[in-house]
Amino acid sequence: MQENQINFEQIANHLPPEWKDAEIRTKIRKLNRTLSQKIVVLDDDPTGVQTVHDILVLTQWNKELLLEAFQHPEHVFFILTNTRGMEASEAARINLEIAANVLAAAGEKGYKVQFVSRSDSTLRGHYPLEIDILSEETERITGQGYDGHLIVPAFFEAGRYTYHNVHYLKEGELLTPAHQTEFAKDKVFGFSHSELREWVEEKTDGRFRPEDCVSISVEEIRRGPDAVEAILTDVTGNQPVIVNAMSYRDLEVLSMALLQAASKGKRFIYRTAASFVKAFGGISDIDYLSAEQMVAKGKEHMGGLVIVGSHMQKTTRQLENLINGTAIVPLEMEVGKILNDGEREQEIGSLIGEVNRTLQSGRNVVVFSSRKLVAVEGKAANLKISQRVSSSLVKIVETLEAAPKFIVAKGGITSSDVATKGLKIKKATVLGQAAPAIPVWLTGEDAKFPYMPYIIFPGNVGGDETLMEVVKKISG
């Protein structure tokens, strides 16, 4: 056991029992409808739909699409911003534009809006920037500010838990503080603290100190919604509120308390991982999708395509198992050549030809960026490298001559770019999940390949064999 690691079962066994209310999810759905509100989730990469189903995802935010989303019977919808793959100035511009457009559409349709800024469960992304922009624009347009912004990074499907204000990643029975994992060393969004009050101070450059944060403990949550509501009642001035959570029932109690507080005039905005969205929306459980649900109809004779851009060590291990454990054809894209203007076109052209031939022969193929990470000084420069690699992978999807029987994209930036630029998706429906935390979209009628299942595999999710297992499942 490493320093600061703790045993999950020991914590679970010492906690008070979960709040008992078998109808709480139904009550949450009813309260959402009573409040005439839509939960609008701004997703900074496409993996945020890891916990939901039958929900709309928009990749554009024009008036026509937003009005359609507000007319949809579900009270939750997602907007893919992909801002985790952008520089801060562009992320700010997009959040500003979306906030204005969403509030205008909501006003036209007579809905209130609950903004959720969904980001990474390993604490990466543009915080506090995105919360600041959404808060300021909402107050400018509506004249009403927020009492607090809740920070809820728990994501149980991927083993992310928050306890005593420390955010942990679970592997086996051990919980490791987030700052001791590879994710904290991210070249763009790295951090030094897992204690979330200290993380807030670090990310806000001292604007909020630890003592400025309100904390809601697991023990308080397990006393029920009224106990949590009492804490929320005293939150003012858009204070950071750290939420500890060890289970879905904890987040359901939190959600019930938030809705009760909202009915009495309290206003909050949210920076969360994916589990909160499911709880706050009162979204039901469904089984994982079958192989038949993840194969494009009429394309069963084609091969399937896997695109891997993430450079996480976890992804590399998963890729190795996929290649060694299946008959998939591996094609490596040399990043050094992609970054060289004189070699880029030849490298991409060669891969395009091989991918099309392999797919039409009925074999599966995986295209992956070379595993040696190319990194330079500066956040902006590293983002540019990621964007160039991603755009090269996208070019392969753009030039597919026929629809494969499935497409899996691995990594946040990669899967977003494949969706919006490669597959030209404007609107999709979340079918469900292929496996824990691995969402599947059904493309809309305007996509390059209409009504095709698209499997989004986050870079930081799953065990070493999960990618191999998912591809085997889809391939039958």
User: In this model, does residue 377 exceed pLDDT 80?
Assistant: no
The per-residue b/e assignment along 160-196, b for 16 or more CB within 10 angstroms, e otherwise, is: bbbbebbbbbeeeeebbbbbbbebbebbbbebebbbb
* Sequence ranges of the domains in the chain: 6-281, 292-475
DSSP one-letter string for 382-448: HHHHHHHHHHHHHHHHHT-SS--S-EEEESHHHHHHIIIIIS--SEEEEEEEEETTEEEEEE-TTSS
Most distant CA pair in the chain, distance = 64
Q: Which residue did the predictor score with more confidence, 275 or 341?
A: 275
Distance between CA atoms of 390 and 467, rounded to whole angstroms?
19
Q: Which residue has the higher pLDDT, 387 or 376?
A: 387
**Residues in CB range of 135: below 8 A, 6 or more apart:** 145, 146, 149, 238, 269
Equal CATH topology for 6-281 and 292-475: no
At 137, list the tokens. 């624009």
Instruction: Determine the pLDDT at residue 1.
Output: 60
Res 201 pLDDT > 70 = yes
Phi, psi of 206 (to 5 degrees): 85, 0
Among 179, 158, 134, smallest CA distance to 274 is for: 158
Task: Find out whether 397 and 307 touch, Cβ atoms under 8 Å.
Answer: yes
Lowest mean pLDDT among 208-222, 350-364, 401-415: 401-415
Q: Residue 77 forms beta bridges with which residues?
A: 40, 56
> Is 257 a residue whose pLDDT tops 70?
yes
393 neighbors 25 (Cβ within 8 angstroms)? no
Look-up of token digits 């009915």: 263
pLDDT at 153 exceeding the cut of 90: yes
Give me the pLDDT at residue 376, please. Answer: 62
* Per-chain mean pLDDT for the chain: 94
- The phi and psi torsions of 24 (rounded to 5 degrees) equal -65, -35
Specify the CATH number of the domain 292-475: 3.40.980.20
In the predicted structure, residue 3 carries a pLDDT above the cut 80:
no
CATH number of 6-281: 3.40.50.10840
What is the C-alpha separation between 219 and 245, in angstroms, rounded? 9
In percent, how much of the chain has pLDDT > 70? Answer: 99
Q: What is the pLDDT of residue 230?
A: 98
Q: Is the pTM of the predicted complex or chain greater than 0.95?
A: no
Please count the other Cβ atoms lying within 10 Å of the Cβ belonging to residue 121. 32
